[in-house]
Structure 1
Amino acid sequence: MSACNVCQTNQAACINSTSFYLCFGDAMPHTDHVYTCLDGFECTDRTAICLQKNAQRPPSCGDTSKCGLCSAHRNYKFACHSKRTFQMCYGAARPVGPLGTCPENTVCDATSDLVCVTPITGQPLTCDINDDLVITSSTSTTSSTSTTSTTSTTPKPTDGPPQTAQQVCAQKTKSGLYETVPRDPYCKRYISCHITAKKITAREYGCTASSFFDAERQSCTTVAPLECTVLF
């Protein structure tokens, strides 16, 4: 299995088992648009990028669709941010507070109330992403001066009761990328809306570990917007 968020020889960077960014010949993926394989297909390092699921050929990137989601745990107790990092949810829709790290030789498992468990060979991980890809700091630029942000891990308040991706898109008048409701205080999650006269397609995605969702630009950027809380 290849690493997630890395440009492969086929010019795609898989961000989970079914979604990817394109690289266009660059060393880093372009994160302004998420591409998704058709149902029954998964992201690979082959020329076609998306190939039918095959038990003998794992996808290029492990499943990251549940990364950072409180809903991955049946009681919304915690959210896994990587193989060994997690954050508590306390029954809320979004994780809050400081980032925790599982003890050595254990992994974060949203199917267990223990949070961290001994890994079992062949068992899929809740968030199959390396720990070093979890954001620990952010560099923001103001005018010509660069400064390093060490923002508190306490998330800023968000407005409105929780809405599904479909509910968010139903309120929009055109296709685009929009903030979740409530807004993700860490600026990682966002809603992709594809709107036509006959159908609204809504999906929730997450920016890569090194980027943040900028609602004004409707894209993932490497500089965190001012309202973001950055884990450190």
Structure 2
Amino acid sequence: MTTKIVNALQVVGLLSLSCLVNWTFSDCNVCQPNQAACINSTSYYMCFGDDTPYTDHIYNCLAGFQCSDYPSICIQKNAQRPPSCGDTSKCGHCSAHRNYKFACHSRGIFQLCYGASQPTGSYGKCPAGTVCDASSDVVCVQEKPGQAVTCDVNDDLVGTTTEDPTGSPTSSPTTSPVTDPASQTAQEICKLRAKSGLYETVPRDPYCKRYIDCYYNKDKVIAVEYGCSETSYFEADTQRCTYIKPSNCI
């Protein structure tokens, strides 16, 4: 009798855990009944009565709050109530991988790190049916229902130029308009700016971490790409890293 009771409790526990997992992971960038489309655990777009999110402005919850399907949209962080859209704390971070091999920028877009703290070079896109997984050395793993994703952001929210399996470049939509859809090197950006300063990358980093440092010394141009710390964001208007997240950052 005791064995039967224990087995029954185990089944109930597994069913409860299954329900919690299914509840935890939901679609990002989808209009909810509260007219908000969460694009990560703390940011969202408004829907204004339509089924399509208006992507002209990114709204952010206050510190300690998370995006939800509740009428208030942002609710206090609670372990018993997961956010409507997944965690993005590891997005774009080489440190998410134990060997600093690559960084996940979204569910399917990645960039190599080569052991450095910041990703560099061209972007890659995972094959259909796979997701970027920083806990694995193979970069892209088979997608499974309810699995934890390193960077739970839809691919179309990342402004970059990716390559398809044939090697041909394809453009991904960006969260804000870009005058030149092609990628530009740090040297090209500095030559176009024609003066010393800190400038946004091209395409713009939607997480507001990466920036270009341009330095002019007579006729010589020195261009270096840097990244703000994990707790700060690059603000283009003031040309500095700030601890207050700009409104156009994911």
Q: Which has the higher helix share?
A: 2
TM-score, normalised relative to structure 1: 0.56
1:53 maps to 2:78: yes
Contact residue 61 and residue 67 of structure 2 kept, 8 A? no
Q: What is the alpha-carbon distance in structure 1 between the residues aligned to residue 147 and residue 137 of structure 2?
A: 17
Cα deviations by residue, 1:78-103 (Å, 9 ceiling, x for unpaired):
01122222110112222111111223
Q: What is the alpha-carbon distance in structure 2 between the residues aligned to residue 33 and residue 105 of structure 1?
A: 30
Cα distance change on mapping 1:29 and 1:188 into 2, 3 Å: closer
Gaps of 5+ in 2: 1-24, 160-170, 190-197, 210-229, 239-245
Q: Runs of 4+ in structure 1 displaced over 6 angstroms?
A: 181-185
State the Cα distance separating 1:110 from its structure 2 match.
0.5
Equivalenced residues, count: 172
1:78 maps to 2:102: yes
Of 137, 150, 158, 1:134 maps to 158
Higher normalized contact order (CA 8 Å, seq sep 6+, divided by chain length): 1
State the Cα distance separating 1:3 from its structure 2 match.
4.0
Of 208, 227, 231, 1:190 maps to 208
Cα deviations by residue, 1:43-99 (Å, 9 ceiling, x for unpaired):
2111132155355x5421111221221121122110112222211011222211111
State the Cα distance separating 1:215 from its structure 2 match.
1.2
Of 109, 118, 133, 1:109 maps to 133
Contact residue 46 and residue 54 of structure 2 kept, 8 A? yes
Of 190, 203, 214, 2:231 maps to 203
Of 141, 149, 163, 2:181 maps to 149
Cα distance change on mapping 1:28 and 1:156 into 2, 3 Å: farther
Cα distance change on mapping 1:108 and 1:183 into 2, 3 Å: same
Contact residue 187 and residue 214 of structure 1 kept, 8 A? no
Q: What is the alpha-carbon distance in structure 2 between the residues aligned to residue 182 and residue 110 of structure 1?
A: 29
Of 13, 20, 25, 2:43 maps to 20
- Say which is worse superposed, 116-125 or 75-84, in terms of deviation: 116-125
Say which SS state the counterpart of residue 156 (structure 2) adopts: helix
Q: What is the alpha-carbon distance in structure 1 between the residues aligned to residue 131 and residue 150 of structure 2?
A: 9
* Matched residue, 1:220: 248
Question: Cα RMSD (Å) of the superposition?
Answer: 3.9
Q: Name the % identity.
A: 48
Contact residue 89 and residue 151 of structure 2 kept, 8 A? yes
Q: What is the alpha-carbon distance in structure 1 between the residues aligned to residue 183 and residue 133 of structure 2?
A: 28
State the Cα distance separating 1:35 from its structure 2 match.
2.2
Say which SS state the counterpart of residue 71 (structure 1) adopts: helix
1:65 maps to 2:83: no
* Matched residue, 2:61: 35
State the Cα distance separating 1:151 from its structure 2 match.
2.6
Q: What is the alpha-carbon distance in structure 2 between the residues aligned to residue 33 and residue 122 of structure 1?
A: 27
Gaps of 5+ in 1: 142-147, 159-180, 192-201, 206-212, 222-232
Larger-Rg structure? 2
Contact residue 39 and residue 45 of structure 2 kept, 8 A? no
